[in-house]
Amino acid sequence: MIHQSVASCIGQTPLVQLNRLFPYKGINVIAKLEFLNPGGSVKDRPARFIVEQGLQNGTIDQKTHLIESTSGNLGIALAMVAKVYNLQFTCVVDPKISATNLQILHLLGANIEMVHVRDDQGGYLKSRIQRVQELLHNIPQSLWINQYANDLNWQAHYYGTGSEMVASLDGSIDCLILPVSTTGTMLGISRRLRSEFPALKVIAVDAVGSVIFGTPSGQREIPGIGASRVPELSKQIEVDQVIYVNDWESAQGCRALVKYEGIFAGGSSGSVIAAIQKLLPSVPSPYRILTLFPDRGERYLNMVYDDNWVGQLHHPDAQPNLSTFTSKLPTRNKAELKNLNLLT
């Protein structure tokens, strides 16, 4: 098949079993590799869906100037799709964006607006949105994508990601566990999967310091997971459990994933791995878990894969308490897990 543009290449990412990282009898962990999308992340899906729906219904035309607040991945996806459809795009970012993402945005021709003032929650999200409002006032025919409240965000995953999962699975699953930020990915996929598997347990993985589910705000360093304001879409999601993961745990999860599976993924993928390790001691056997890895590891080389950066996070309070993990699932010995930095 020959595609007419890079936008039409988005989707149909593979599922892979994580047998090497989780080689436990009766435990089956399956991940969808969303970083294999052409723009490098799961955000390619809502970027394409929102823009193409807008072009079809007339809310977007060739004079429209797209604006969005993003930690990087949606910005890259929108810049790529905007290039395909010859649209102007301005991306509002903050200092936590990786240097790689920032360079990619420049190369794709996006206009960059950087905010430097933290909001009252210690993050930058509210500051970014304030800048979006200023740009909407100053730029003629501008349109805010608004991934935090746009129903097309979750619908992209209902009709896309979630439907692909259902079509590819060779049986039922017991648990869906996903990282959250705008909560659009979680909302769309969980709704689609629960239409097929009504008894599905849905678990959100959130960052320590995120306010999405009502916990106290705090400083977070890894972009793409958590939020310093409650996204409007989050009011629609139905989750059974939230597992919190800090930056250090996420970094160790990333390193475990690449060491045992050869999967070089981004920070929130490491958050998922750490959350699954916390979850496994409490699940029955057999048990099937489904997740996804949102973005590529190359964009985090100066963060979770940088020893100096991780070393600044490494203190006793930041280490995961996973001793029960080895006692219940003893396929790997404690010395091996110690080498993975998964034990205190």
Q: What is the pLDDT of residue 124?
A: 86
* 338 pLDDT higher than 70: no
pLDDT digits (tens, 9 = 90+) for 137-149: 999 999 999 999 9
Q: What is the pLDDT of residue 98?
A: 81
CA 269/CA 6 separation, integer angstroms:
24
Domain 44-144: assigned CATH number = 3.40.50.1100
Q: Which two tokens stand for residue 58?
A: 């007339």
Q: What is the pLDDT of residue 323?
A: 35
Asked, colleague to colleague, whether 6-36+154-312 and 44-144 share their fold, the answer is: yes
Q: What is the pLDDT of residue 243?
A: 98
Q: What is the pLDDT of residue 326?
A: 32
- The owner of tokens 């989780």 is 22
Q: Which two tokens stand for residue 286?
A: 């057999």
pLDDT digits (tens, 9 = 90+) for 113-125: 999 999 887 778 8
Task: Note the helical H segments in the chain.
Answer: 44-57, 73-84, 99-107, 125-138, 151-156, 163-168, 184-196, 247-261, 267-279, 307-313, 323-328, 334-339
Q: What is the pLDDT of residue 73?
A: 93
pLDDT digits (tens, 9 = 90+) for 172-184: 999 999 999 999 9
Q: Which of 117-121, 126-130, 244-248 has the highest mean pLDDT?
A: 244-248
pLDDT digits (tens, 9 = 90+) for 22-78: 999 999 999 999 999 999 999 999 999 999 999 999 999 999 999 999 868 999 999
Q: What is the pLDDT of residue 315?
A: 54
Q: How confident is the model at residue 314 (pLDDT cuts 50, 70, 90)?
A: low
Backbone angles phi, psi at 281, to 5 degrees: -60, -15
Task: Note the helical H segments in 99-183.
Answer: 99-107, 125-138, 151-156, 163-168
Could you say which of 2.60.120.200, 3.40.50.1100, 3.40.50.300, 3.40.190.10 is the CATH number of the domain covering 6-36+154-312? 3.40.50.1100
Higher pLDDT, 319 or 113: 113
Higher pLDDT, 213 or 96: 213
Strand partners, 68: 91
* 322 pLDDT higher than 90: no
Q: What is the pLDDT of residue 328?
A: 34
* 283 pLDDT higher than 90: yes
Q: Which two tokens stand for residue 124?
A: 């930058």
Q: How confident is the model at residue 335 (pLDDT cuts 50, 70, 90)?
A: very low
* 334 pLDDT higher than 70: no
Handedness of CA 263, 269, 271, 272 (dihedral sign): negative
Q: What is the pLDDT of residue 122?
A: 79
Name the residue ranges covered by the structural domains of the chain. Answer: 6-36+154-312, 44-144
* 329 pLDDT higher than 60: no
Residues 6+ apart with CB under 8 A from 79: 89, 91, 104, 105, 108, 109, 110
Residues 6+ apart with CB under 8 A from 270: 249, 250, 251, 252, 253, 254, 255, 256, 257, 304
CA 71/CA 65 separation, integer angstroms:
19
